[in-house]
Structure 1
Amino acid sequence: MADEVNRATFLEIQGRMIEITGKLKQLQTQIRNKEGEKKRAFLTLEELKQLAEDTNTYKSIGRTFVLESKSVLMNEQEQKFKDSETAIASLQSSKEYLEKQMAEVENNLRELLQQDPGIARQIMSMSVA
């Protein structure tokens, strides 16, 4: 009976660990994407700053290019940069929260294995079979 309870507890912990790991990977991908957007906005701003104020600048909309003033393009790039920074900060806090949850789940697993060393053998036999 105790083996059944421990096995069910292990399966629950394993499920949570898999779920948290998936969410962490997804967050890391989102962070990388936002960092790329931030870098593109920064580099575009740096290039725009070098241009004279009266230079014709164009904004890409799909496959079309539309004439825009330099100030409008700079404002858009600055906004993209700020939005990316905000999103990265938010995603980082979510990542930290998930990492804390992962540490808690790992501690729960360690406690379970310390309580019932026999379950470690069962786990090993489950993964081999």
Structure 2
Amino acid sequence: MVDEVNKTAFIEIQGRVIELTGKLKQVQNQMRTKEGEKKRAFLTLEELSQVPDDTNTYKSIGKILKVFVLEPKAVLMNEQERKLKDSESAICSLQTSKEYMEKQLAEVENNLRELLQQDSGLARQIISMSV
């Protein structure tokens, strides 16, 4: 009876580890994406700041068809500043989520370790299955 309870607990904890690991990877990927967006916005701002205010600037619209629209420099600067700020706040939020998930994952892994230490038979069974 105790064996079955421990096996069930192991399966639940293992599922939780897999779930948290997947979510953590997803958050890390989102952070990388936002870091790229932030860097592009920063570099675009750097380039736009070197251009005189009366220069014609063009904004790319669409991803598949490249269409360009004439925009005042100030409009493009404001858009890039907004993108930069949005990316920074998203990164901050994602960092908080990442830290929370890392703590949860550490806790679940600790629970798994404790379970395997309590039931050495279960640990041997798991090891024999993985070999």
* Runs of at least 5 residues in structure 1 that lack an aligned partner in the other structure: none
Segments of 5+ residues of structure 2 without an aligned counterpart are none
Tell me by how many angstroms 1:116 deviates: 1.1
Secondary structure in 2 matching 1:55: coil
TM-score, normalised via structure 2 length:
0.95
- Residue identity over aligned pairs, in percent, reads 77
CA deviation after TM superposition for structure 1 residue 118, in Å: 1.4
TM-superposed CA distance for 1:124, in Å, is 1.1
Matched, 1:104 2:107: yes
Q: Counterpart in 1 of 2:116? A: 113
**Alignment partner for residue 85 of structure 1, among 78, 81, 88?**
88
In 2, Cα distance between equivalents of 1:56 and 1:16: 55
SS at match of 2:53: coil
Indicate the RMSD between aligned Cα atoms, in angstroms.
Answer: 0.7
Which residue is equivalent to 2:34?
Answer: 34
Q: How does 1:1-129 map to 2 (within 5 A)?
A: 1-62=1-62, 63-128=66-131
| 1:92 aligned counterpart, secondary structure | helix
CA distance in 1 between partners of 2:78 and 2:106 (Å): 42
How far off its partner does 1:127 sit? 2.2
Q: Distance in 1 between matches of 2:110 and 2:125?
A: 19
2: CA distance, partners of 1:124 / 1:3: 16
Cα separation, 2, equivalents of 1:7 and 1:48: 61
Query: TM-score if structure 1 supplies the norm length?
Result: 0.97
- Deviation for aligned residue 1:10: 0.5
Q: Show CA shifts across 1:68-107 (max 9, x none).
A: 0000000000000000000000101000010010011011
* More deviation, 37-46/104-113: 104-113
How far apart in 2 are the matches of 1:94 and 1:78? 24
CA–CA separation in structure 2 for the residues paired with 1:61 and 1:114: 59
Distance in 1 of aligned mates of 2:67 and 2:11: 54
Between the aligned partners of 2:13 and 2:82, the Cα distance in structure 1 is 42
